Each structure stands twice: as C-alpha cells, then as structure tokens.
Structure 1
Amino acid sequence: MDKRREENLKKFGNHIKKIRSELNLSQDEVVLNSDKLIKATVSDIENGKRNFSYSTLLDLAKGLGKHPKDLLDFEID
C-alpha cells in the first residue's frame, strides 16, 4: 500500500474514532448497533490498519447511527 493511501486510512480512522467519541459510544456498542461488524474490524478501521468494503462502510454507519456520507466527510490528501 502506498504511503498516501496509508495516511488517508489513518485520517479516516481518526475521523471515525472522533465521531464515536462524540456520540459517547464504545466500540462494543458500535458492534451491537450494527448487523455484522466485529470489534476487531472497528478497531482496525479506527487505527488505519484496514481497507474496507462498501458493505463494511454501511455497517459502520449503522453502528454509529449516522448516514454513510457523514463518515466520508473528512479531509484527505
């Protein structure tokens, strides 16, 4: 994976972590609110360690109670 992609995954992960924190949700609560996520996936996304699919994005949005577009509203390089 190239350096810019890695940095953008980290920025996305930080954005997701910020949203989750602002909602006062734990990773476990996000998992419970979603249909298919597991805690390791949420953790990997927040830490910029996982590239994910569209369906995972939808599951994450559901777990956070947000529209998917809200999850993509962050600055990238």
Structure 2
Amino acid sequence: MDKQREVKLKKFGKHIKNLRKDLNLSQDEVVLNSDKLIKATVSDIENGKRNLSFSTLLDLAKGLGKHPKDLLDYDI
C-alpha cells in the first residue's frame, strides 16, 4: 500500500473512531446495530488497516446510526 493511501485510511479511521466515541457507542454496539459487521472489521477500519468497500461503508453507517455522507465528512 502506498504511503498516501495509508495516511488517508488512518485519518478516516480516526474520524470513524471519534464519531463512535461521540455517540457513546462501543465497537460491540456498532456491530449489533449493523447487518454484517464483525468487531475485527470495525477495529481494522478505526486503525486504518482496512480499505473498506461501499457496502461496508453503508453497513458501518447503519451501525453508527448515521447517514453514509456523515462518515465521509472529514478533512482528508
């Protein structure tokens, strides 16, 4: 993975983690609110270790109780 992509994934992961914490949700609660997520996936996303698909983005938004555009509203 190139360095620029790695930096972007880490920034996105930090944004997702901050959203989750602002909502007072645990990773387990996000998983329970979603359709197909598992805790390892949420953890990997938050740690910038997973380049997620569109369907995973939609499921993550559902798990957080947010509109998908809210997940993409951060400084790159």
Q: Under TM normalisation by the shorter chain, which class is it?
A: over 0.9
Structure 2: give runs of 5+ residues left out of the alignment.
none
Unaligned segments of structure 1, at least 5 residues: none
- What is the distance in 1 between the residues matched to 2:19 and 2:42? 13
Normalising by structure 2, we get a TM-score of: 0.99
1:75 Cα offset (Å) = 1.1
Counterparts of 2:39 and 2:70, CA distance in 1: 21
1-structure distance, mates of 2:72, 2:3: 20
- For residues 16-61 of structure 1, give each alpha carbon's deviation from its aligned partner in whole angstroms, at most 9, with x where no partner exists: 0000000000000000000000000000000000001000000000
Stretches (4+) displaced over 6 A? none
> Structure 1 residue 29 and structure 2 residue 46: aligned?
no
Q: Which residue matches 1:66? A: 66
Residue number in structure 2 paired with 1:10: 10
Matches within 5 A, 1:32-51: 32-51=32-51
AA in 2 matched with 1:41: T
TM-score (norm 1): 0.98
Instruction: Report the Cα distance in structure 2 between the residues aligned to 1:17 and 1:52, rounded to whole angstroms.
Output: 15
Distance 1:46 1:14 in 2: 6
Following TM superposition, by how much is the alpha carbon of 1:67 offset from its aligned partner in structure 2, in angstroms?
A: 0.3
